[in-house]
Structure 1
Amino acid sequence: MGEILDKPCVTLQFSTMNHRKILIPTLSLLFVFLALWTAGSGVEAAANIAPSATPPPPRQRVIVTEPTPGPSPTVTPTPSPTPATQVQTLASLQAKIRGRMLSANVARGRVGIKILSLNSGKVIFENDPEKYFTPASNMKNFTVATAFERLGPNFRFETKAFANALPDSSGTINGDLRIYGGGDVSVSTAFYLGDYYKGVDALVDELVKAGVKKISGSLVGDLSYFSGGEIPETWEWDDLQWYYGAGISALPINDNAVDVKVSPTRSGQPCDVRILPRTSVFTVNNTCTTGGSSSSLSITKSLDRNILTVGGQIPAGATAWQGSIAVTQPADVFLALLKERLIARGIAVGGDTRILPPSVTAPTTQTPIATLQSPPFSVIAAKTMKPSQNMYTETILWTLGEQKRRNGGAAVSGNSSVVGISVVRDFLTKQVGIPRDSVIQYDGSGMSRHDLVTPSAVAALYVYMAKTSKNAQAWRDSLAVGGVDGTLKRRFAGTAVSGNFRGKTGTLDQVSALSGYVRTAGGEELVVSILVNNVLSPGDRISMIDDIVVALANFNGKVDEQ
């Protein structure tokens, strides 16, 4: 995403030099004084001459000589006083924010702002704080904060293996091995330094510990933990083929996406198309050729099937295209990789892989064989919030729903997402005190264009999580740090905001958002929420937001004393 920088306003500053003190005999001093006085009178007179008058000829420079002096006494110069730093006023800060908000390049859009003191709650600045705005990924704030409070920072997702009986004396599972998914998103390259297989290998390790040496039947995926369609109903179709539009599964694998690389070969020859990790789940239709002087590469994935069509052309010697494509029915990839890794460890699998149909209920009498646990939720929250991972957030929302259903909420109707949204709403209204109609939620991540929030609601959540929540530090640790990591890594470099801001970004077409905590130069911590809608240029939106946050960080006054 490019940024458009405003033209800088250059201010020229001039300074005067202090006169040096020179000790001269009295007579010489008088002579110099008279000479300088006469010269000074000429300068002042020249300044008063009318423009049409002929200026007088310049006076000759007067050089004063004196007898060869004896040793001069040492003179200690008088130090120049250090100019006092001007303390900014709250009114000047507010004027600066308002001026930036009204800039011509964002004037046709809508800007919602809420800035307040975390200590006192005093409102520093606000604009349309109670109006609805599309939040984009600022919606993740509400989902993840609720999970901290309802699931807890130590909650762990689980993937379990079941069979009709424990392994026999030879280590054989007689029959199928059922893999019951619990939405563990940590079975992913994001948690294993980019390795496609180590997440699945962790489950293989648990099976080996359980004494499994052979599986006579098939690997059966059980996805019954979640209910509802793989894709949230209000997502837009043109997002769904890319990694950020990946669907939800009880058996997620590598962020429910595959990496694709398309490279040119020799002129006139087909392009080279590779999918990682290698899997038989994907079918590739490759009509791309190498040649021409410009690229016309096209990549299309069927929305409901793992069929990838690669067309167009790439010039010979051009840089390869690389991207990540969403996977339909990720559990198929999970099971395929699991079978491959079991065999690599010497564990034979007699059957194939398949998904248990939703209409079929697994036997309740089966024996648990092994369990793979995720890292604590606090770790997953940071992997969700900092890079703004959509699929993780949706999985967290669905987990909120299913945990409620399984812990005293059996009477609640609706699929996993619907129940999860009700859990978020209950937390926001009863614990945070946010008005029920100030957050309109259709998904967990903010990919839905139907989501609506107010700047006041976002700010209130941040105040609650910092001052009331027992998970305040874990919450802060999950947020991106300005100029350091996540979606803020390339913003605020070289400013007072770098390393000083923690918060959450948000981006959709014509939408940018930023909410979080920033400490002023005066030592006070502020809560800020800025939501920008209907501004076409991402650079215009982001530069305005960043300018305001930098102004807050540079403020050296005291907001709570004015």
Structure 2
Amino acid sequence: MMKPFLRSSSFIALLALVYSAFLSSNAYAQTEPRSRVVVTDNLSQPESTPDRVPAKNALPELRTKISMAVSRPSLRKGSIGVKVISLDSGETVYERDADKYFMPASNMKSFTVAAALDKLGPDHRFVTSFYASEPPSNGVLKSDLIIFGRGDPSFSWRFNDGNWLKAFDDLADRLIALGIKRIEGDIVGDGSYYSSEPIPYGWEWDDLQWYYGAEVSALSVNDNVVVMRVSPSTEGLAPSVRFEPTSGLFRVFNTAKTVARGEKKTLKITKRIRDNAFEISGNLPQNDPGFSGPITVSNPPQVFADLLKQRLGLKGIVVSGTARGVDRFDRGEVLNTEELAEILAYPSPPLSIIAENTMKPSQNLYTEMILRSLGEAAGPENSSKASDEKGMAIVSELLAKAGVDPRDVVQYDGSGLSRHNLITPSSSAMLYKYLDTARFSAFWKNSLTIGGVDGTLRRRFKSSEALGNVRGKTGTLDQVSALSGYVTSKAGERFAFSIITNGIPDADSRVSAIDNIVLQIANLEGKTYLETVQAIK
């Protein structure tokens, strides 16, 4: 009677072992799901619905790595804000203090230039008009020649292969082609199109003599700077001072002294605010290279008129009068053109080209001109607001389209040089997300600096996954660095991001932290969302 019991007990034990193994296998399958490939027969089965499966759990990995990057000891006494959005899923994958205010520096340019592309279109051109009281007769123009600017920045070496005079030679040739041989009047540069102050609110006085703090005018000339060269001369005598291009409008007060080789250099150069007067002081040793660099000019319309008058004279056109410059504050109003004859209309390059020459090198003057011209060209008519305020109103319209809370952007200028500007990383990242699919998206992306290739990112991201991949807009001020833009991961996922640091004195620490975050995104091998696996038919 015992043997049947033993056989039954062994069989039951075997069944228990098999069942236990089955449960264990099932439990493993629930904790480690595998991708399923559904094989179907199209003749007998309906089309399969694609499954959603995780290719790799990349989101926690990315968040961990970015959190480590922003926790560096060198950043602890300052502030860093980050917002990263997957353009493929539309989801925010990382954020830190993304809704707090930060000083954006040149990240402000993104808002200004994007608003212009959106409102005016990438093919828009700014036209500079040449007016006279009457058309020329028998080769003689019997009136002043008025050059009325509307914000074309291309009368510059930057648009003319580095040649500071080419734009003015071209203008002279066009006037000659009209048959003009003599002008019985003045050459008048007119910047009255803008009603804003030439120095934006919040710009600091010690920025104003350097190229990034150039005066803003509707009629600009060579980025509103001139190259000054100060070189040592004979010991005991004043150093030599030269300007390129030359102009009789520039006055130099030179009390500096050339000293013996090896002595300490104490050379100091100061430009008077709103005046083309330059003070040179201190000592310059004989073996010293001296100084060579761009210095801003005041009254750009007058400098424009003076250079044009020079080039006309060299090409044989006699001008009986002088070179003058006027703006809105001189006239009291914009130039009234109703009773004037337009003898020449000179269009700028398309806005898309101007945008590239603005964003990639981070050109402050061009951005301020774009903001004001945008306000005058597309802002409300008969408005008492200044040109820049009208432009800012159009920026606000773009923010609404992008779904950005208008309180997230506090704008005082177009370029970001004002220390009063404030934005949130969220506002910038959301703007870039919106612009990714805007109708002018290709032109927008072409305007951005590319990592390791051009513009302000040309020296960054070399020999990395971000080389030629990341593109965006940088920002730099004292204690401020920023980068907003686009980057694609190794897995092919596209991201929009904004990273802004404030209150960190060491520039290398700021930039290193920003670049580290971008590289974490670029090196990501998995995706941050569930991929669709298509059924095999």
**TM norm structure 1:** 0.82
Q: Which one of 282, 286, 289 corresponds to residue 250 of structure 2?
A: 282
Aligned pairs for 1:368-517 within 5 A: 368-405=342-379, 409-429=380-400, 431-467=401-437, 469-517=438-486
Query: Separation in 1 of the partners of 2:57 and 2:109?
Result: 35
Q: CA deviation at 1:87?
A: 6.5
Q: Which amino acid aligns with 1:498?
A: L
Deviations 1:517-553 (A, max 9, x none): 0010111111110000000100110001011111111
1:216 aligns with 2:184: yes
Q: Would you say the 8 A contact 1:301–1:307 is kept in 2?
A: yes
Query: Separation in 2 of the partners of 1:276 and 1:317?
Result: 23
1:192 aligns with 2:163: no
Query: Separation in 1 of the partners of 2:394 and 2:384?
Result: 12
Q: Would you say the 8 A contact 1:203–1:371 is kept in 2?
A: no
Aligned pairs for 1:270-419 within 5 A: 270-292=238-260, 293-356=263-326, 357-359=330-332, 361-362=335-336, 364-405=338-379, 409-419=380-390
Q: Would you say the 8 A contact 1:503–1:514 is kept in 2?
A: yes
SS at match of 1:559: coil
Q: CA deviation at 1:99?
A: 0.9
- Hey, what does 2:20 align to over in structure 1? none
Q: CA deviation at 1:217?
A: 1.2
Task: Mark the runs of 5 or more structure 1 residues left unpaired by the alignment.
Answer: 1-85
Deviations 1:99-155 (A, max 9, x none): 110100011111100011011112121101111110000000000000000111011
Q: CA deviation at 1:324?
A: 1.2
Q: Which amino acid aligns with 2:339?
A: T
Q: Would you say the 8 A contact 1:109–1:534 is kept in 2?
A: yes
Q: Which one of 205, 219, 225 corresponds to residue 237 of structure 1?
A: 205
Query: Separation in 1 of the partners of 2:295 and 2:214?
Result: 8
1:556 aligns with 2:530: no
* Residues 108/363 of structure 1: CA separation in 2 closer, same or farther (3 Å cut): closer
Query: Separation in 2 of the partners of 1:319 and 1:355?
Result: 35
Q: CA deviation at 1:220?
A: 1.8
Q: Which amino acid aligns with 1:460?
A: M
SS at match of 2:436: helix
Q: Would you say the 8 A contact 1:133–1:531 is kept in 2?
A: yes
Query: Separation in 1 of the partners of 2:67 and 2:406?
Result: 29
Give the number of equivalent residue pairs.
Answer: 471
Q: Would you say the 8 A contact 1:522–1:556 is kept in 2?
A: yes
Q: Would you say the 8 A contact 2:299–2:325 is kept in 1?
A: no
Q: Would you say the 8 A contact 1:206–1:372 is kept in 2?
A: no
Deviations 1:262-312 (A, max 9, x none): 112233232121111101111111122222522111011111211111111
- Hey, what does 1:532 align to over in structure 2? 501
- Hey, what does 2:9 align to over in structure 1? none
- Hey, what does 2:45 align to over in structure 1? none
- Hey, what does 2:534 align to over in structure 1? none
Q: CA deviation at 1:490?
A: 0.7
Q: Would you say the 8 A contact 2:402–2:434 is kept in 1?
A: yes
Aligned pairs for 1:141-220 within 5 A: 141-168=110-137, 170-220=138-188
Query: Separation in 2 of the partners of 1:245 and 1:153?
Result: 26
Q: Would you say the 8 A contact 1:247–1:391 is kept in 2?
A: yes
Q: Would you say the 8 A contact 1:381–1:478 is kept in 2?
A: yes
Q: CA deviation at 1:363?
A: 5.2
Deviations 1:370-417 (A, max 9, x none): 111111000000000000000100000001110124xxx214321101
Q: Would you say the 8 A contact 1:206–1:371 is kept in 2?
A: no
Query: Separation in 1 of the partners of 2:337 and 2:430?
Result: 46
**TM norm structure 2:** 0.85
> Could you say what the CA RMSD is over the residues aligned between the two structures, in angstroms?
1.5
Q: CA deviation at 1:157?
A: 1.1
SS at match of 2:227: strand
Q: CA deviation at 1:208?
A: 2.0
* Residues 531/363 of structure 1: CA separation in 2 closer, same or farther (3 Å cut): closer
Q: CA deviation at 1:236?
A: 1.1
Which structure is larger by alpha-carbon Rg, 1 or 2?
1
Q: Which amino acid aligns with 1:251?
A: L
Deviations 1:39-64 (A, max 9, x none): xxxxxxxxxxxxxxxxxxxxxxxxxx
Aligned pairs for 1:108-123 within 5 A: 108-123=77-92
Query: Separation in 2 of the partners of 1:396 and 1:176?
Result: 28
Q: CA deviation at 1:558?
A: 1.0
Query: Separation in 1 of the partners of 2:530 and 2:239?
Result: 67
Q: Would you say the 8 A contact 1:88–1:555 is kept in 2?
A: no
Query: Separation in 2 of the partners of 1:234 and 1:90?
Result: 41
Q: Would you say the 8 A contact 2:131–2:343 is kept in 1?
A: yes
Q: CA deviation at 1:225?
A: 1.1
Aligned pairs for 1:54-73 within 5 A: none
Query: Separation in 1 of the partners of 2:152 and 2:170?
Result: 12
Question: Mean Cα displacement is larger for which, 435-444 or 286-295?
Answer: 286-295
Query: Separation in 1 of the partners of 2:436 and 2:144?
Result: 49
Query: Separation in 1 of the partners of 2:146 and 2:232?
Result: 42
Deviations 1:414-468 (A, max 9, x none): 1101111111112212x1121110111010000111111011110111011112x
Query: Separation in 2 of the partners of 1:205 and 1:402?
Result: 30
Query: Separation in 2 of the partners of 1:89 and 1:152?
Result: 39
Query: Separation in 2 of the partners of 1:389 and 1:187?
Result: 14
Q: Percent identity?
A: 45
Query: Separation in 2 of the partners of 1:142 and 1:548?
Result: 23
Question: Mean Cα displacement is larger for which, 536-545 or 274-283?
Answer: 274-283
Q: Would you say the 8 A contact 1:394–1:445 is kept in 2?
A: yes
SS at match of 2:439: coil
Q: Would you say the 8 A contact 1:105–1:540 is kept in 2?
A: yes
Q: CA deviation at 1:211?
A: 2.0
Deviations 1:59-81 (A, max 9, x none): xxxxxxxxxxxxxxxxxxxxxxx
SS at match of 1:443: coil
1:546 aligns with 2:515: yes
Query: Separation in 2 of the partners of 1:363 and 1:188?
Result: 26
1:131 aligns with 2:100: yes
Q: Would you say the 8 A contact 2:475–2:481 is kept in 1?
A: yes
Q: Which amino acid aligns with 1:94?
A: R
SS at match of 1:296: coil
Q: Which amino acid aligns with 2:59?
A: L
